[in-house]
Amino acid sequence: MNVNHLRLFLCAIFVAVVMPTLTFAQTTNCTAISHDLAFGATGSEVTKLQTFLKSNGYFAASITPRFGPATQTAVRNFQKAKGISATGTVGPLTRAAINTVGCGVSGGTTTTSFEVTGWIPYWRVATGTRDTLPHLDKLTEVNPFVFSLRGDGTLFDNGTATDTPTWLVFNAQAKAKGVRVIPTLMSGDRETMHKVLSDQALRTRLVSEIVTLVNARGYDGIDIDFEFKYAKTKDFFSSFLKELKQGLDTKWLMCTIETRLPNEDRYYGTTVPPDAGIFSNDLPVINEYCDRVRLMAYDQQRIDRKLAAEVEATGELHAPVADIRWVEKVINYMSKDIDKKKILIGVPTYGYEYAVTTYANNEHVYDILWTFNPGYALPIAQERGITPVRNSSGELYFTYFSNLPTSTTPVSQSVLGNLAVLAATAYADQKNSNLTYRLLDWPDAQSMQQKIDLAKRLGVRGISIFKLDGGQDPNIWNVLAGVAIKDPLDKPKAATPKVSGAPIARTLALGSVGEDVRTLQRLLNSDSATRIAASGAGSPGAETSRFGALTVSAVQRFQMKYGIASQGVAGYGLVGPKTLAKLNGMLAGL
């Protein structure tokens, strides 16, 4: 297809897009909007929406099956009246409000506090900290995204020492404002993760190193982001979380995990594979040991095949970073195993560029090229005279033909952002051929507002932003103003070690070795007053089979607490008959 023919197609499609539609009227007594609606939508749901808005005094124009400027203005006025972000788009929160007014349907629940956290990545520390610093009051927690796992299972700081002046100043100011500082330990190396977590000695060493790091640097806790694990690693990862929670004591343990989706959505139109129900995360265990669970509700792309099919049937491309409808599915599905009060919705600030090839019969093939910050997309749109469009996913997008030159003369009228896909579809259908063009899709501040509204409606703990690097839409700070609600009484609960094992059947003393010594140490660690150590060997989750000096000291404190022995009395520090009786009695009751 040559450039002149392509331009003709663009002009033809543009004329078709701006043509008005016929009017249509419909009335209803009970208004329940079944799906999201946005500018440009058509059909009976739009007339139902307009009828509702008209009956409540928000809409004065004639009722038609098209969502135009008058409808958008009416929706915004309704949203303002209900305390909803005035986006002009009928999303989940607006639908809930309409359904409540129109049919008496109850909306969602809310939490008494609302957390807003954000990751600052190691590859943009300077810009990330500089941009975030003036807005710390809008956050409840910051997450330096800096630590990873070496091949030997030890911690590695990714080229940006967290004890440099930049981080020291930033962390100090965050703490001064009551903002938690919790760094992330990340890994996507499944071989290393399995090797370390499946080896008791290596796992214990890792737990000890993490606890030592957190305590030595005054962090409020640690965020574990271990992605792409083998399914065979699941139980070892669970043990790691249990031991780490015990070792952290009253420090926070945050967990960042992949999302899940019902099979009927993920594998829509295909055969569900036999291993579809095999996972690397045990959600009930994660719910038990993690104080917060951040769901990485981004990088969606094409994983929800059902939603993609529904959207593409309307003529819209669908390869979002995080469609709000998909996010809601994920939360509803995963909250069956994870307490909503622990869930934070991951919210992206970056976008994707694709090379899309469109074939006849509305078929599209998406080839992802790279991720980008909004500052990359907007100049491309401007130099081509393109106005980005908000799609039904709640994100901005536009399409263009990369083989067309940019405009050398002023553009008199902005081109619609979806013009390239419309032209490509028309050409593919007419010629039974295909065309390739570019798609840029990214979330902005309005997209974030929609996620905040969704989080509040679903009653989850809050949102976690990936990423705060200075390259995100600067308007997100306006959206976040007044959103975070801190709960000063909210503290992480120390894990209560689950002690199991056979009764201790022999006298234990300095130098004793065996699994019964490990059982002894676990019993002692179940009480903060008799804890062997706060970190390292012998600490909760890192108990050993050797009776050393720290164990002697813990036994002495145990004996004094229960009036068994005291300094200068025979048997002080020795696990003899009286001490054994008390310990075994406690063991039987656990």
Contacts of 546 (CB under 8 A, 6+ apart): 512, 513, 517
Predicted confidence at residue 124, as pLDDT, reads 95
Same domain for 58 and 75?
yes
Has residue 9 got a pLDDT over 70? no
Distance CA(432)–CA(445), nearest Å, equals: 40
Most confident of 195-199, 499-503, 584-588: 195-199
Last residue of a domain, one of 58, 75, 103: 103
Has residue 404 got a pLDDT over 70? no
Has residue 26 got a pLDDT over 80? no
Question: Pick the residue with more confidence: 515 or 14?
Answer: 515
Share of the chain above pLDDT 90, in %: 66
Give ∠ CA 462-468-470 in degrees, rounded to 5: 145
**15: confidence class by pLDDT, cuts 50, 70, 90:** very low
Please state the rounded mean pLDDT for residues 160-178.
85
Has residue 368 got a pLDDT over 50? yes
> How many domains are contained in the chain?
4
Selection from 394, 425, 395 nearest residue 314 by Cα: 425
Same domain for 194 and 286?
yes
Distance CA(422)–CA(426), nearest Å, equals: 6
Cα torsion 379, 382, 386, 388 to 10°: value is: 50
Same domain for 199 and 335?
yes
Q: Tens digit of pLDDT for each residue in 284-315?
A: 999 999 999 999 999 999 999 999 999 999 98
Predicted confidence at residue 170, as pLDDT, reads 95
Query: For the ranges 397-401, 465-469, 473-477, 528-532, which has the lowest average pLDDT?
Result: 528-532
Share of the chain above pLDDT 70, in %: 88
Query: Which string of DSSP letters, residue by residue, matches 188-255?
Result: --HHHHHHHHTSHHHHHHHHHHHHHHHHHHT-SEEEEEE-S--GGGHHHHHHHHHHHHHHHTTSEEEE
The alpha carbons of the chain give a radius of gyration, in whole angstroms, of 29
Please state the rounded mean pLDDT for residues 72-83.
86
Has residue 24 got a pLDDT over 90? no
Distance CA(146)–CA(223), nearest Å, equals: 11
Inside any domain, residue 176? yes
Mean pLDDT for all residues in the chain: 88
Q: Are 423 and 445 in contact (CB under 8 A)?
A: no
Q: Tens digit of pLDDT for each residue in 464-501?
A: 999 999 999 999 999 999 999 998 788 887 776 566 67
Inside any domain, residue 498? no
Same domain for 282 and 143?
yes
Distance CA(556)–CA(552), nearest Å, equals: 6
Distance CA(23)–CA(270), nearest Å, equals: 40
Predicted confidence at residue 56, as pLDDT, reads 87
Predicted confidence at residue 526, as pLDDT, reads 82
Helix residue spans in 313-418 (DSSP H): 324-334, 374-383
Give how far Cα 281 sits from Cα of 211, 334, 463, 481, Å.
22, 12, 21, 35
Inside any domain, residue 492? no
- Residue-wise over 271-291: b if at least 16 C-beta within 10 A, else e? eeeeeeeeebbebebbbbbbb
CATH assignment of the domain containing 54: 1.10.101.10
**108: confidence class by pLDDT, cuts 50, 70, 90:** very low
Selection from 357, 356, 355, 358 nearest residue 426 by Cα: 358
Same domain for 3 and 84?
no
Query: Which string of DSSP letters, residue by residue, matches 259-319?
Result: ----HHHHTTTSPPPTTTT--S--HHHHHHH-SEEEE-----TT--HHHHHHHHTTT----
Q: Are 183 and 147 in contact (CB under 8 A)?
A: yes
Predicted confidence at residue 144, as pLDDT, reads 96
Distance CA(542)–CA(534), nearest Å, equals: 10
Same domain for 368 and 416?
yes
Same domain for 292 and 227?
yes
Inside any domain, residue 26? no
Same domain for 310 and 458?
yes
Predicted confidence at residue 417, as pLDDT, reads 72
Last residue of a domain, one of 415, 442, 469: 442
Give ∠ CA 91-96-97 in degrees, rounded to 5: 100
Contacts of 387 (CB under 8 A, 6+ apart): 381, 398, 414, 415, 416, 417
Inside any domain, residue 134? yes
Inside any domain, residue 569? yes
**319: confidence class by pLDDT, cuts 50, 70, 90:** very high
Looking at the DSSP bridge assignments, the partners of residue 225 are: 186
Inside any domain, residue 496? no
Tokens representing residue 421 in the block: 């896909």
Same domain for 534 and 453?
no
Please state the rounded mean pLDDT for residues 19-42.
59
Query: For the ranges 216-220, 223-227, 535-539, 566-570, which has the lowest average pLDDT?
Result: 535-539
Last residue of a domain, one of 429, 462, 480: 480
Domain range enclosing 413? 1-20+351-442
Has residue 577 got a pLDDT over 50? yes
Predicted confidence at residue 520, as pLDDT, reads 95
CATH assignment of the domain containing 322: 3.20.20.80
Has residue 16 got a pLDDT over 50? no
Predicted confidence at residue 88, as pLDDT, reads 87
Predicted confidence at residue 3, as pLDDT, reads 46
Predicted confidence at residue 162, as pLDDT, reads 60
Same domain for 95 and 235?
no
Predicted confidence at residue 297, as pLDDT, reads 98
Same domain for 465 and 567?
no
Please state the rounded mean pLDDT for residues 574-590.
88
Give how far Cα 298 sits from Cα of 182, 360, 436, 451, 464, Å.
21, 30, 25, 11, 11
Inside any domain, residue 461? yes
Please state the rounded mean pLDDT for residues 76-84.
83
Most confident of 96-105, 211-220, 399-408: 211-220
Same domain for 345 and 279?
yes
Please state the rounded mean pLDDT for residues 428-448.
92
Prediction pTM value = 0.70
Tokens representing residue 194 in the block: 């399995």
